[in-house]
Amino acid sequence: MLRFAVTRILMAVPTLLIVAIAVFALIRLVPGDPASLMLGDLADATSLASLRHNLGLDRPLPVQFAIWFQNALSGDLGRSITSDQAVLPLVIERFWVSAKVVMAAVIFASLVAVPAGMIAAWRQNSALDVALVAVSTLLLSVPTFWLGLLLLLFFGLKLGWLPVVGYVSFSDDPWRALLYLIMPVMTLFLHEIGVLMRMARASALEVLRLDYITHARAKGLSESVVLWRHAFKNAFAPTWTLIGLMLGNLLGGIAVVETVFTIPGLGRLLVDSIFARDYPVIQGCMLFIAVIYVLVNLVVDLLYPMFDPRVTAE
């Protein structure tokens, strides 16, 4: 297990290196100049040149990359061009905000979608199956920004139960923090439930057709034992992979939900930084997201044998 983990981490090194180089190069290929954006429409050539010099943007690109990469190796991802904040603490702070929403949504979605998918497969072609498939397809098809706005209008405006704008952290006021998180978590939860339910149903359908399930039924085991003790583990394994991919994906990319619900998370930081051409923050965010993606999938792979004994972490 340890050898497997170490090998996987070492394999991630070239991936992260490629990410670092690609992000550095690509963002600089995009037209636009952070100094010009900071000074606005009236920047004279001297002021622009002076600011570019102060920001180190007038140096050759390989030199800029070498300095950034050398500092990154020692854990220093630089400072934001626009806010002058240190990038690494900024990215970590924003990551925890996003992580709370994403983890809560994915956990709740898994708890609901996996059993629902199993039941739909168990009662394939019944009215219940058709209804569950229809609901999951509908939820999957609704864009998150629209779903978010609908929730906002209903629970925030119509009923007045939940706050429409703002964010409160748990350290400041846990009760109010919870109130502010309900709608964004619900938005993600409703969207992801559709994906997970369809996956859980498809996997369960495949497993329920296998000989060992027929054998279990022939032994006279009850349907619930067949379903939850024998079919569940094997059927859940592919869904577990999907949850891992989903987590990696969402932890770096819920900018839309964060924008609609004014959550100061990692996705919004990344989008704002792209618009402001804040190169150090963009690079820091992307590198951090890549690391999170690698780590989440490593954890998923290490836990895989728990669900599918045919797979070993060797």
Partner 1 sequence: MTRRLLFALPCALAVLIAVSPAIAKPLTVALNADIRSSNPGVNRDDNTDGVILNVVEGLVAYGEDARVKPLLAKSYEVSDDGLTYTFSLREGVKFHNGAEMTAADVLWSWNRYMDPKTEWRCLPEFDGRNRLKVVSAEAPDAHTFVMKLNEPSALFLATMARTDCAMTAILHKDSVKADGSWDKPIGTGPFIFGEWKRGEYVTLNPFHDYQSPPGEKPDGYVGSKRPLIDEAKFLIVPDAATVKAAVVGGSLDVAQVADSDVAELRQSPALDISTPQVATKHTFLFQTRDPLLSNVKLRQAIAAALDMKQIVAAASNGLGTVNNSAVPPTSAYFDEVQRQGYSHDLQRAKALLAEAGYKGEEITILANQRVAMPSYPAAVMAQAMMQAAGINARIEVLEWATQLDRYQTGRYQMQSFSYSSRLDPALSYEQFSGPKDEQPRKVWENPKALDLIDQAYVISNEEKRGKIFDALHRMMIEDTPLIILYNGVDSVAYSKRVQGYSTWEGKPRLWEVSVAD
Using CB under 8 A, list all residues that contact partner 1: 30-33, 36-48, 51, 54, 82-85, 94, 149, 152-153, 156-157, 160-167, 173, 175-176, 178-179, 182, 259-262, 264, 268-269, 272, 275-277
Contact 140, 149 (CB under 8 A): no
Please state the closest distance from residue 9 (CB atom) to partner 1, in A: 32
Please state the closest distance from residue 176 (CB atom) to partner 1, in A: 5
Please state the closest distance from residue 108 (CB atom) to partner 1, in A: 12
Nearest residue to 304 via CA among 226, 227, 248, 244: 244
Cβ burial, residue 6 (10 Å; 0-12/13-18/19+): exposed
Comparing CB distances to partner 1, the nearer of 72 and 186 is 186
Comparing CB distances to partner 1, the nearer of 4 and 155 is 155
Comparing CB distances to partner 1, the nearer of 25 and 178 is 178
Cα separations in angstroms, 158 against 38, 155, 164, 223: 40, 6, 11, 44
Please state the closest distance from residue 228 (CB atom) to partner 1, in A: 16
Comparing CB distances to partner 1, the nearer of 161 and 212 is 161
Contact 155, 204 (CB under 8 A): no
Please state the closest distance from residue 167 (CB atom) to partner 1, in A: 6
The dihedral through the CA atoms of 303, 304, 308, 312 has a sign that is negative
* Distance separating alpha carbons of residues 164 and 198, to the nearest angstrom: 31
Comparing CB distances to partner 1, the nearer of 36 and 297 is 36
